[in-house]
Amino acid sequence: MTVASKGRVARGALWTLTVGVLAFACLVGVVLAEPPGRPSWGKTSNIVLPTPTIGLRFAHKKHPPGDFECNQCHPKAATSTAASDRLRPTKKACLDCHDEAAVPKDIKTRGQKDTKPCAKCHTAFAANGVPRPVRWIQARLRFSHKVHVARKIACTKCHKGVESSTPKDGLHMPKMSLCLDCHKKHARAPSRCVSCHERLPGGRMRTRYPEGSLKPGPSLPSLNHGPLFRRQHKTAARAHRKQCEACHQRATCLRCHGGIRKPASIHLGNYILRHGKEARANRKRCKSCHTRSRFCISCHKRSGVAKSNVKSPFNSPGLTRFHGANWASATSKGAARNRHASHARRNIGTCVSCHQERDCTRCHSRRRIGGLGQSPHRPGFGHSRRCKILLKKNIRACIKCHGFNDPLMASCK
């Protein structure tokens, strides 16, 4: 190999490696990227607790618990029974300690431009100089402060770090993991999702909001709806069925598992060309979504590949048969004659995806009712105990080949 060719090979390898690294980076970015409007995993959900517009300069750090009690600024918290209750301090509560003379009396006068007297507390102002009001969206929770206060649970137990927070630290709202840790330890604490989350009229948990959809995160490891949960939810659905039903209806499962819709994430676009091999290898897996009588047979008939179809290519002389030569020939001898019998006994479901009952009775019925008289039973079957059991269990199957007045039926009884 010449130096020039080695250089081309090296450059090609470097280019391939570069493309591979970029592709991997894009894949990781897609998997780890957070969809818009979704809560960040491990953080307080902005759907359950929407981010408010406060516009105030306040630090709990300058109001330590030793000098101030929580109920001094939040007097209604001890008796609050709903998350919609207004527990924020009022202007009067602030002015009880702060100098009221520093607040201009005519602050709401139209055309006011001087914001310096108000800027000590307020950070957002309208065009006319009036402080913007606090916009606090109601929490999407069912919560009672009164119940928790009665159980002697300290405020800082749920609002961790709030006593030393500054305006830059944001809100110190409890995370779901903290709630679950406490509710799991106490047997009397409710554990249902709708005990804390909003519910719909039917009793299920509300999950859709204008900001996005609410989904379990790392606080519930067994139900964490991460990037791969759609493909790996089988184990969680079997082990935690009741928790799944708190949010999902049966119709949600049937969208994919009903056998009508074929999501691209389950079957590729060309799957119909190669599904036969997998269907024969693992019939039970197919039946978990698809119904054999309605889905498989109807499709095979429409496409003309069913043997019972008049236009089936497998019925046309001179064309390649689906089964090999002498698969079920009445003129062959030995194993070649009954090779189809072993397959039919092993997995009759595979056969009926193409064949109907009349395809079998064409050969196996008695001659006097239009068949060829080829018996599917072993010698002496008519006087065996198994014959009597099957006759008693399902006489219809016997009549299909023997008729009502066959002497062999009488001997079996």
φ/ψ of 247, rounded to 5, equals -115, -40
Contact between 194 and 203 under an 8 Å Cβ cutoff? The reply is yes
Reading the block at residue 299, the tokens are: 């499709």
Q: Which residues contact 43 (CB under 8 A, 6 or more apart)?
A: 175
pLDDT at 32: 33
Output the CA torsion sign for 240, 242, 247, 252. Answer: positive
Residue 184 parent element (H or E): helix 176-185
DSSP letter (8 states) at residue 331: S
Contact between 166 and 57 under an 8 Å Cβ cutoff? The reply is no
- Identify the band that residue 144 occupies on the pLDDT scale cut at 50, 70 and 90: very high
**How many whole angstroms separate alpha carbon 236 and alpha carbon 61?**
44
Q: Is the pLDDT of residue 198 over 80?
A: yes
pLDDT tens per residue, range 95-130:
778 765 555 555 554 445 556 777 778 888 877 777
Residue type, 156: T
Q: Is the pLDDT of residue 252 over 70?
A: yes
**How many whole angstroms separate alpha carbon 311 and alpha carbon 10?**
58
Question: Three-class SS of residue 284?
Answer: helix
pLDDT at 98: 76
Q: Is the pLDDT of residue 215 over 80?
A: yes
Domain ranges (residues) in the chain: 60-88+134-209
Output the CA torsion sign for 200, 205, 208, 211. Answer: positive
The alpha carbon of 129 is separated from its chain's Cα centroid by a whole number of angstroms, namely 50
Which is higher by pLDDT, 66 or 241? 241
Go through the chain and tell me how many residues it has: 413
Q: Is the pLDDT of residue 209 over 60?
A: yes
pLDDT at 113: 55
**How many whole angstroms separate alpha carbon 39 and alpha carbon 104?**
41
pLDDT at 145: 92
Question: Three-class SS of residue 349?
Answer: helix
The dihedral region occupied by 373, where left means phi > 0, alpha psi between -120 and 50, and beta the remainder, is left
Mean pLDDT of 52-65: 83
Question: Three-class SS of residue 41?
Answer: coil
- Identify the band that residue 310 occupies on the pLDDT scale cut at 50, 70 and 90: low
Mean pLDDT of 62-87: 87
Mean pLDDT of 307-329: 63
| % of the chain surpassing 70 pLDDT | 74
Reading the block at residue 104, the tokens are: 């201009």
**How many whole angstroms separate alpha carbon 287 and alpha carbon 356?**
18
State the average pLDDT for the chain. 76
**How many whole angstroms separate alpha carbon 295 and alpha carbon 313?**
20
**How many whole angstroms separate alpha carbon 309 and alpha carbon 354?**
9
Reading the block at residue 122, the tokens are: 């307020």
pLDDT tens per residue, range 334-366:
555 667 877 787 777 667 767 778 888 888 888
Which is higher by pLDDT, 10 or 247? 247
**How many whole angstroms separate alpha carbon 344 and alpha carbon 151?**
68
pLDDT tens per residue, range 217-237:
888 888 888 888 887 888 888
Residue type, 311: K
DSSP letter (8 states) at residue 159: S
Contact between 226 and 169 under an 8 Å Cβ cutoff? The reply is no
Strands 208-209 and 212-213 come out as antiparallel
Output the CA torsion sign for 249, 254, 256, 257. Answer: positive
- Identify the band that residue 80 occupies on the pLDDT scale cut at 50, 70 and 90: very high
Which of 349-384 are b and which e, b meaning 16 or more Cβ less than 10 Å from the residue's Cβ?
ebbbbbbeeebbbebbbbeeeebeebeeeeeeebee
Question: Three-class SS of residue 213?
Answer: strand
pLDDT at 79: 92
Contact between 41 and 217 under an 8 Å Cβ cutoff? The reply is yes
